[in-house]
A and B are shown apart, each in its own frame.
Chain A
Amino acid sequence: MSTDSTGPTGSPGSTPAASTPGRSTPGSGNGAELIRFDKVTKRFGSNTVLDDLDFTVAPGKHVTLIGPSGSGKTTILRLLMTLVKPDEGTIRVDGEYLTHEEKGGRLVPAGEKHTREIRKKIGMVFQQFNLFPNMKVLQNITEAPVHVLGLGRDEAEERARELVELVGLTECLDRYPTQLSGGQQQRVAIARALAMRPQVLLLDEVTSALDPELVAGVLDLLRDIAHTTDITMLCVTHEMGFARDISDDVLMFDAGRVIESGPPEKIFSEPENERTREFLSAVL
């Protein structure tokens, strides 16, 4: 596959956040790429959702995936979160294979434990929030740090309180998710993901399920996080204004391939590909 981007120019001295295949050196762990897809193909039945996809994301970059629905954007996030497995190709996170293990010089499908270790570097915020209804807000946030990372309860709660303050929900710590509005639930979900201190945050259409008047608050929070932390972000969104604000790079998807990529100024102002132009004129 090929894209016609030469990578972003925004941040001097850094590696391209999303580079064309062949640019990055083979081998892993060079520190310049946090996420690397190599020839990844994903099919659902006879429908090829991702077609021989290559792309990389450098640490600290904010990359937005745009494109018509069904173009495979969300599948990329779900592959990274190992909610689905690739049919072909490999994915590496921070230099390590996500769904494969090297055994005797050969790549074999990884066991649950290996995948789980790599996965700890990744956090995800879902479209439908997916908070645990059986836990109050505080416990939603502390449960994984305590039981997955092995943090002491006091430490986890302190972390949770800081995050809840960040997302502006201090007064809601003692409520159940069903007692919160959609916007509040999504803020808790963001805090819950951040409590694991992931290197990468995946945002899957996080405002699509919200009432219109609640969208801005959540986007402002994410802008704030994007601008004040060095967390790597991979977003699927239909909010083009938001994409323009936070992205170092925008990847335009169509039919399972990246058809155009580049810094947001370029993609949104002077897209080169005909499909990109069509898509943007439809959504902007």
Chain B
Amino acid sequence: MTAELWEAIFKGIWITVQLTVYSAALGAVVAFAVGTARTSRHWILRFLSGFYVAVFRGTSALVFMFWLFFVVPLAFGWQFVPMWAATLALGLTYGAYGAEIVRGGIAAVAPAQREAGIALSFTPWQRMRRIILPQAVPEMLPPFNNLLIELLKGTALVSLLGIPDISFEAQLARLATGQSTTIYLAILGMYFVLAFLLTRVMRLLERRAKAGIGQAPPKSGGILGKLRIEETERSTKAGLAGGAQ
């Protein structure tokens, strides 16, 4: 392995990170738009969003990417930049999965919260934005974390369009040197580190989100830390019930 090959692989990391961030951003927008539309009182919105999820969840992100990249130019005489074709395909596909997480999170908010919102004459949109979503989002973050890691690994598909991400550069390096074991072990580690970093960021978000709805976040990981928190919560409750306040 020469230094140049390693450098190319490290540049690939940057491409992979960019793709993950762009697709995740697009996917998040799609997930919230489609996911909330699935709970709409208008049947047409429910139908269209349901149709979207069925199509994009039921087809392959890879095939969709090939369509964008190879078929669109034939049909329209106009070519996507590969990065954009990839971002679009990944974002729209993972957004469909995300929409189901959003829908589930919304459904998990107690119906009584919606009723309280009606009783205060909030509009349906205000209820969603001020009452339902702020309570639903913390519940969505753990499954979003899963999906984000799936997306990170899914970006490897773009190597088939010739986009020089980690997987693509690793493939080149393997062809050049034949050192399959070293190279694949290295990129396995790279994906793992990226996934680990993503998880840490998501955990941080989760903690902040939970604190924002009055749920004390666990300060430190580990079972002992959790036990301590539960114990203080119990004693606080007992104190309140006893009329100490």
Contact call B118/A83, Cβ cutoff below 8 A: yes
Residues from chain B with a CB closer than 8 A to the CB of A123 are 119-120
Contact call B121/A130, Cβ cutoff below 8 A: no
Looking at A93-101, A178-186, A220-228, A238-246, the stretch in contact with chain B turns out to be: A178-186
- Determine whether A138 belongs to the interface, using a CB cutoff of 8 Å to chain B: no
Chain A residue at minimal CB-CB distance from B119: A124
- Determine whether A251 belongs to the interface, using a CB cutoff of 8 Å to chain B: no
Contact call A134/B245, Cβ cutoff below 8 A: no
**Cα distance A133–B213 in the bound complex, in angstroms:** 5
Checking B110, B112, B134, B241 against A181 with a beta-carbon cut-off of 8 angstroms, the contacting residue is B241
**Cα distance A214–B243 in the bound complex, in angstroms:** 8
Checking A124, A136, A181 against B240 with a beta-carbon cut-off of 8 angstroms, the contacting residue is A181
Q: Which of B206-245 contact A (CB under 8 A)?
A: 212-215, 236, 240-241, 243, 245
- Determine whether A147 belongs to the interface, using a CB cutoff of 8 Å to chain B: yes
**Cα distance A196–B120 in the bound complex, in angstroms:** 8
Checking B112, B121, B245 against A116 with a beta-carbon cut-off of 8 angstroms, the contacting residue is B121
Residues from chain B with a CB closer than 8 A to the CB of A179 are 214, 236, 240
Contact call A211/B120, Cβ cutoff below 8 A: no
Contact call A134/B121, Cβ cutoff below 8 A: no
Contact call B241/A132, Cβ cutoff below 8 A: no
Of the four ranges (under 10, 10 to 19, 20 to 34, 35 or more), the interface on chain A belongs to 35 or more
CB distance from A57 to the nearest CB of B (A): 18
Of the four ranges (under 10, 10 to 19, 20 to 34, 35 or more), the interface on chain B belongs to 20 to 34
User: What does the 1/0 interface line of B166-185 toward A look like (CB < 8 Å)?
Assistant: 00000000000000000000
CB distance from A172 to the nearest CB of B (A): 8
Residues from chain B with a CB closer than 8 A to the CB of A83 are 115, 118-119
- Determine whether B194 belongs to the interface, using a CB cutoff of 8 Å to chain A: no
Main SS of the interface on chain B?
Answer: helix
**Cα distance A131–B120 in the bound complex, in angstroms:** 11
CB distance from B90 to the nearest CB of A (A): 31
- Determine whether B59 belongs to the interface, using a CB cutoff of 8 Å to chain A: no
**Cα distance A82–B124 in the bound complex, in angstroms:** 13
Contact call A143/B113, Cβ cutoff below 8 A: no
Contact call B118/A134, Cβ cutoff below 8 A: no
Contact call B241/A211, Cβ cutoff below 8 A: yes
Contact call A134/B120, Cβ cutoff below 8 A: no
Chain B residue at minimal CB-CB distance from A147: B126
Residues from chain B with a CB closer than 8 A to the CB of A213 are 243
Residues from chain A with a CB closer than 8 A to the CB of B200 are none
Residues from chain B with a CB closer than 8 A to the CB of A119 are 118-119, 121
Contact call B214/A178, Cβ cutoff below 8 A: yes
Residues from chain A with a CB closer than 8 A to the CB of B112 are 126, 128, 130
Chain A residue at minimal CB-CB distance from B213: A134
- Determine whether B203 belongs to the interface, using a CB cutoff of 8 Å to chain A: no
Contact call A181/B214, Cβ cutoff below 8 A: no
Contact call B120/A144, Cβ cutoff below 8 A: yes
Give 27 A-B contacts (CB < 8 Å), ordered by A residue. Answer: A81-B118, A81-B119, A83-B115, A112-B123, A119-B118, A120-B121, A126-B115, A126-B116, A128-B112, A130-B112, A130-B115, A130-B116, A132-B116, A132-B130, A132-B135, A133-B213, A143-B120, A144-B120, A148-B120, A148-B121, A148-B122, A177-B214, A180-B245, A181-B245, A184-B240, A184-B245, A192-B120
Residues of B bordering A, CB below 8 Å? 110, 112-113, 115-116, 118-124, 126, 130-131, 134-135, 212-215, 236, 240-241, 243, 245
